[in-house]
Amino acid sequence: MSVINTNNYFESRKENFMLVNTKDLQRKTEEYTVKLRKTKRTERFERLRLNMIEKVSEEFSLIKDFSSQTAENKLLLIYNFLYENKEIDKIKDCLKEFAKILIQNKLDLIELYRDDYANMLCDILNNDLPDEITSKAAWILCIFIYKNPLTEKLVNFGVIDALIGAINENKPLTTENSICALANICGDNEKYRHEISINYSFHSLLHRLLQTININKNTNIAKTIAFCISNLCRTHSEIPIEALNILWEMINLLGNSNDIEIIYDIFSALRFLIDNQNPKYLNTALDEKIIKNCIEKFEIDNPDIKFEILKLIASISFLDKNEELLKLGVLDLLIKIIANTNQNARRLVQKIISNLLCDKKCIFQIINHKIFEKVASGLIDPDILTRLEASYSFRNISQVANTEQILAICNNDYFLYISEGIKSVEPKIVMNLLKFVKRALICGEEIAENTRSKDNKMCILLDQTKCLDAMEHAQQFMTPEVYQYVINIFKDFFGFEDENLEIQSTPQIFEFS
């Protein structure tokens, strides 16, 4: 009789890890050899497995320490044992050892026998074993799938079937790990996303997840479902209409959570749907007030959540739904975020506002809101990308605003920010702001003509000198395009002719005669 002792996990236990009876072993080996051939496993795997058993049976000696075996031999022993024994404690220890090898990135070994190991884990998952056992098999499958994109052969072995079948309200740990494995399948592998869509109905999978939410109130399971939904939405450009209602129901249910991870994933799912630019997704999200209900909850002081909200709002702001977005109270939300957040978030707020300002119906609401002062002050932000995004807001205003709206901006202190912004060394920023200045000057001329007060022609700019100084300063860094634009402004609005402008080569500045 031969004994394999595993000091690693139950050193204090005196019972044998595996008792090998020679006749019994020979019978099992013959039976299993047939099974291996039937399932067309690799010849090398079969040869190594049989060699290992022969060593044990022929020498009839103790393998001194299970943990001292090579990883390859250890995996073979684990594989043999799991197929030939039903003792729960020992199965559990074998799974622990398997997970340890997997986590240690022994991928060259795993790759050799990946189909065999995946099939073995699915067999354990589908057996009538306790949650603590099947959950470990599901967890190992989750890691296995994450580290090794699945093959068509593994699909045929029923990995996806096994994971969906393992979602069981009586086994919370197994359910959680199985859904996480499904999320990895849905999110990381192009071929498998196709398999999920075609062979495993999107509708059926979502329905199973919805059932799980309704039956099991376990927060960890809800987290993994939210993660799975996020991956599904990210990787599916077209969701069947029959599945969409189930998806919205789950988003609504999970959106009521106070858990930060769940909220983050639900916002991600919404953003992925809307980024597909499919109107039915956005219309449903707005009509059912899904976004509003979520936004209203987010007083959570978490920078990741705030940034995900911003990305969602930015996605909507690129579409033709600006009025609906403003009705959700997004400006009040943005003012809270931009005042207490990092540079990336401030930059994204500027982008959102510049998108909204492309719609003339939104201009008055925005420029009369305190958020606009934050937008204008972005022109003097230390970060050049924030200044650039802020300048786009003024460029967009110049394209769609009417005279009254231009006046509303110029009658505030925003020109101080504009004058400073024009001094930027970035030509795009300068050009964007000059376009607004030119539009403001045009409005000034219109007002002067309408009021028959030529003397008030420049009142629109509040401070002519500051505007001139700013353009002089900016001229040092101008591209030919920007330079010509400035020349035209001076000629058209200030009455200067070419001979009145003398330009020095170094540094380039305006000199007025």
* CB of 247 closer than 8 Å to CB of 266: no
Task: Return the closest-CA partner of residue 318 out of 350, 354, 287.
Answer: 354
Average pLDDT over residues 399-418: 83
Question: pLDDT at residue 56 above 50?
Answer: no
What integer pLDDT is reported at residue 83 of this predicted model? 57
* CB of 303 closer than 8 Å to CB of 341: yes
Burial environment of residue 96 by CB neighbours within 10 A (0 to 12, 13 to 18, 19 or more): middle
What integer pLDDT is reported at residue 6 of this predicted model? 35
What integer pLDDT is reported at residue 505 of this predicted model? 31
What integer pLDDT is reported at residue 388 of this predicted model? 94
Q: Which of 297-306, 410-419, 472-481 has the highest mean pLDDT?
A: 410-419
More confident: 382 or 410:
382
More confident: 197 or 487:
487
* CB of 309 closer than 8 Å to CB of 270: no
* CB of 305 closer than 8 Å to CB of 262: no
Lowest-confidence range among 122-136, 213-227, 409-423, 489-503?
489-503
The full 3-state SS of 304-337, as one line of letters, equals HHHHHHHHHHHHHHCCCCHHHHHHCCHHHHHHHH
What integer pLDDT is reported at residue 274 of this predicted model? 81
What integer pLDDT is reported at residue 397 of this predicted model? 93
Q: Quick one: CA torsion of 461, 466, 469, 475, rounded to 10 degrees?
A: -50
DSSP string for 435-467: HHHHHHHHHHHHHHHHHT-GGGTTGGGS-HHHH
Question: pLDDT at residue 510 above 50?
Answer: no
Question: pLDDT at residue 498 above 70?
Answer: no
Average pLDDT over residues 171-197: 74
Q: Is the pTM value of this prediction over 0.75?
A: no
pLDDT in tens, 246-261: 888 888 888 778 788 8
Place of tokens 């395009």: 481
Cβ-based neighbours of 110, under 8 Å, separated by 6 or more: 101, 102, 117, 144, 147, 148
Task: Return the closest-CA partner of residue 357 out of 335, 387, 379, 325.
Answer: 325
What integer pLDDT is reported at residue 27 of this predicted model? 53
Q: The tokens of 72 are what?
A: 């390859």
Element (H or E) spanning 144, and its range?
helix 131-147
Average pLDDT over residues 53-69: 42
Question: pLDDT at residue 171 above 50?
Answer: yes
pLDDT-above-70 percentage for the chain: 61
Distance CA 440, CA 331 (A): 25
pLDDT in tens, 257-315: 878 888 888 888 888 888 875 666 777 777 667 777 767 776 777 778 888 888 888 88
Distance CA 442, CA 447 (A): 9
> 468 falls in which pLDDT band (50, 70, 90)?
low
Extents of the domains making up the chain: 1-107
Mean pLDDT, the chain, whole residue set:
71
Average pLDDT over residues 393-417: 85
Lowest-confidence range among 49-63, 111-125, 278-292, 421-435?
49-63
What integer pLDDT is reported at residue 23 of this predicted model? 44
What integer pLDDT is reported at residue 499 of this predicted model? 46
Distance CA 48, CA 174 (A): 32
> 61 falls in which pLDDT band (50, 70, 90)?
very low
Task: Return the closest-CA partner of residue 507 out of 475, 484, 480.
Answer: 475
Question: pLDDT at residue 451 above 80?
Answer: no
> 482 falls in which pLDDT band (50, 70, 90)?
confident
Task: Return the closest-CA partner of residue 45 out of 55, 36, 54, 57.
Answer: 36
What integer pLDDT is reported at residue 277 of this predicted model? 58
pLDDT in tens, 8-49: 333 333 233 333 344 444 455 455 444 544 444 455 555 555
What integer pLDDT is reported at residue 350 of this predicted model? 92
Report the SS3 class of residue 237.
coil
Interhelix angle 290-297/303-317, nearest 10 degrees: 150
* CB of 487 closer than 8 Å to CB of 448: no
Distance CA 164, CA 158 (A): 10
What integer pLDDT is reported at residue 459 of this predicted model? 47
What integer pLDDT is reported at residue 378 of this predicted model? 92
pLDDT in tens, 300-353: 777 788 888 888 888 888 877 788 888 888 888 888 877 766 788 888 899 999
> 481 falls in which pLDDT band (50, 70, 90)?
confident
Lowest-confidence range among 46-60, 181-195, 404-418, 437-451?
46-60
Task: Return the closest-CA partner of residue 285 out of 256, 254, 324.
Answer: 324
Burial environment of residue 448 by CB neighbours within 10 A (0 to 12, 13 to 18, 19 or more): middle
Element (H or E) spanning 407, and its range?
helix 403-410
Report the SS3 class of residue 412.
coil
